[in-house]
Structure 1
Amino acid sequence: MGKLANIWAFIGRHKYLVTVGIFLLIIGVLDENSLIRRIAHKREIHQLNTEIERYRKQYEEDSKMLKEITSNKEALEKVAREKYLMKKENEDIFIFEEDK
């Protein structure tokens, strides 16, 4: 009974400190909307926003390329030669790769 009485006396003397500690424990770690989860969600939202921005830029570039290809035959030939390594008859292709 001595330990239980000491614990109860400590809680009685420091009831506000104990209450704040329990509150911080619940809010910081145990709650469904804890601070740890909020930080993880903010990080995930930031990563998804950067991914959205990257896809938006890629979409704009691809849309511009598509418009150029459909309207200009020389641009279509240029893309076919560069991306798909197509060639005209009696023509050789040399591919240079950079070491990464």
Structure 2
Amino acid sequence: MKKAIGLFGNMYFLAAAVFVVWMMFFDRNDLMSQYEYYSQRNKLREERDFYIRETEKVRKDLNELTTDRGKLEKFAREKYLMRKDNEDVYVIIPEKKDEDKSLF
């Protein structure tokens, strides 16, 4: 017990304890801020990886569209509803099922 009282009475221990408490809770870079920075960094890394994958996908599609005439025609027909002069295009939109209808 006397050792514990002597430890808390030591000026160096008190200064170190005050410093640690200050750095953990009151400083600009406290533990909560560090956790938020860490979470934000992970979120940004996930977004970066997503955009890298999407960029590669778009580059692959662009390469296919510039080299293969059949894929270019398929892309134009599906995305922009283009057609040849002697064709008719019918757009079929599936009807959404309304689950909220009651039989009463």
Alignment TM-score, normalising by the size of structure 2? 0.67
> Where is the helix percentage greater, Structure 1 or Structure 2?
1
Provide the rounded CA distance (Å) in 2 between the counterparts of 1:68 and 1:13.
Answer: 74
- Separation of aligned partners in 1, 2:39 and 2:95: 34
Matches of 2:91 and 2:57, distance apart in 1: 26
Deviation at 1:96, TM superposition (A): 3.0
How far the C-alpha of 1:88 sits from its partner, in A, is 2.4
% identical aligned pairs: 31
How far 1:56 moved relative to its partner? 0.4
After superposition, the Cα gap between the structure-2 partners of 1:98 and 1:71, relative to the gap in structure 1 and judged at 3 Å, is farther
Aligned residues: 87
Contact kept, 8 Å, 2:81 with 2:89, in 1: the verdict is no
Q: Which runs of 5+ in 2 are unaligned?
A: 1-5, 97-104
Which residues of structure 1 form unaligned runs of 5+? 1-11
Contact 2:24 2:31 in 1 (8 A): yes
SS of structure 2 residue aligned to 1:59:
helix
Q: Root-mean-square deviation (CA), in Å?
A: 2.6
